[in-house]
């Protein structure tokens, strides 16, 4: 269940989870994510996969100044004391080669165990390993990614029209996804597969991303949580000081001005220095991986 609308200028949480940001794509809501990052603080910050979209960047290089700003803001949080963990997903799997390394005080991990304020333990991972299409039929996943990208482009133009009329952001693609029977069944199968495997790891719950569907719910006495995405719903999972979890739907808290992309941002903006050290490796992989 989504939480209440946030209006405070600065909020502090014990922990924050965000995923499926897809930097390097036109669908990334970087401006809205920047607003979220500027107005929130946390002791722990988990980047739960698909921070970058290597699949899309392999087909076409796209990088705006706001994408730089997101990286710089994350690194600044790490420098100021926030414990930042980066768990690569399937769209940025090339960074899994950096697992168990640190970059600018950001720890790169394949998965993590988060201990909540109440002492309960939660497995944190992206979740693509439970997606049969991604795991066993990457060609089909790539085709699906192309179709999904088209849907996001339509969604972008749709919301541009809404902004001109004075309406707030609303995800057309997320609405359609939840209305399609097969998509609903896929989400349910994914959730149960994640929970079944997490139980075997003797934890109290699981936190993931991947399917762009924010959720907190009990599945057979086991807590399943998904932090959503920043291309459709613009959601984050947060843990309060008392150990209570909540989904923050940031698109519902920000007006049209926040959703609007910066006019002066350039699609050829250079990457920040630290990211370049990772990107030099990544770009060589992007254009050589078959």
Say what the pLDDT of residue 5 is.
Answer: 47
Q: How many angstroms separate the CA atoms of 64 and 47, rounded?
A: 20
- Residue 162 domain-assigned? yes
The range of the structural domain enclosing residue 221 comes to 11-286
Q: Which of 29-38, 83-92, 247-256 has the lowest mean pLDDT?
A: 247-256
Across the chain, mean pLDDT equals 79
| Residue whose structure tokens are 């809205």 | 32
pLDDT for residue 161 is more than 60:
yes
- Residue 73 domain-assigned? yes
- Among 62-76, 175-189, 243-257, name the most confident range: 62-76
Three-state secondary structure string covering 199-220: HCCCCCEEEECCCCCCEEEEEC
DSSP for 241-288, written as a single string:
TTS-EEEEEGGGTS-HHHHSPPTT--TBPPPPHHHHHHHHHHHHHHTT
- Model confidence at 254, pLDDT cuts 50, 70, 90, reads low
- Model confidence at 148, pLDDT cuts 50, 70, 90, reads low
Read off the pLDDT of each residue in 14-30 and give the average, rounded to a whole number: 95
- Residue 3 domain-assigned? no
Alpha-carbon radius of gyration of the chain: 18
- Residue 2 domain-assigned? no
Say what the pLDDT of residue 258 is.
Answer: 46
- Residue of higher predicted confidence among 101 and 245: 245
- Residue 4 domain-assigned? no
Read off the pLDDT of each residue in 13-28 and give the average, rounded to a whole number: 95
Read off the pLDDT of each residue in 184-212 and give the average, rounded to a whole number: 89
In the sheet that holds 112-115, the strands lie side by side as 112-115, 121-124, 205-208, 222-226, 215-219
CATH number at residue 129: 3.60.21.10
Question: Are 28 and 21 contacting, i.e. CB atoms less than 8 angstroms apart?
Answer: yes
- Residue 6 domain-assigned? no
- Model confidence at 103, pLDDT cuts 50, 70, 90, reads confident
- Residue 5 domain-assigned? no
Please state the domain count of the chain.
1
Read off the pLDDT of each residue in 28-42 and give the average, rounded to a whole number: 96
């Amino acid at each position: 269940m989504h939480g209440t609308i946030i209006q405070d200028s600065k909020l502090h949480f014990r922990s924050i989870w965000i995923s499926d940001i897809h930097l390097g794509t036109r669908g990334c809501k970087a401006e809205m994510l920047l607003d979220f990052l500027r107005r929130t603080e946390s002791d722990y910050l988990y980047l739960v996969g698909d921070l970058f979209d290597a699949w899309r960047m392999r087909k076409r290089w796209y990088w705006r100044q706001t994408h730089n700003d997101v990286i710089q803001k994350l690194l600044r949080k790490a420098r100021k004391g926030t414990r930042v963990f980066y768990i690569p997903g399937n769209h940025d799997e090339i960074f899994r080669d950096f697992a168990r390394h640190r970059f600018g005080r950001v720890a790169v991990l394949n998965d993590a165990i988060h201990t909540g304020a109440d002492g309960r333990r939660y497995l944190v991972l992206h979740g693509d390993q439970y997606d049969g299409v991604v795991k066993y039929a990457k060609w089909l996943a790539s085709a699906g990614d192309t179709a999904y990208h088209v849907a996001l482009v339509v969604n972008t133009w749709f919301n541009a029209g809404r902004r001109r009329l004075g309406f707030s952001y609303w995800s057309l693609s997320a609405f359609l996804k939840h209305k399609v029977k097969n998509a609903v069944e896929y989400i349910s199968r994914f959730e149960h597969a994640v929970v079944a495997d997490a139980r075997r790891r003797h934890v109290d719950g699981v936190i993931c991303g991947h399917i762009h569907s924010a959720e907190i719910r009990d599945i057979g006495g086991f807590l399943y949580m998904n932090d959503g995405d920043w291309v459709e719903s613009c959601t984050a999972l947060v843990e309060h000081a008392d150990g209570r979890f909540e989904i923050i739907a940031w698109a519902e808290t920000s007006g049209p001005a926040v959703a609007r992309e910066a006019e002066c941002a350039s699609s050829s903006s250079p990457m920040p220095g630290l990211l370049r050290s990772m990107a030099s490796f990544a770009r060589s992989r992007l254009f050589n991986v078959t």
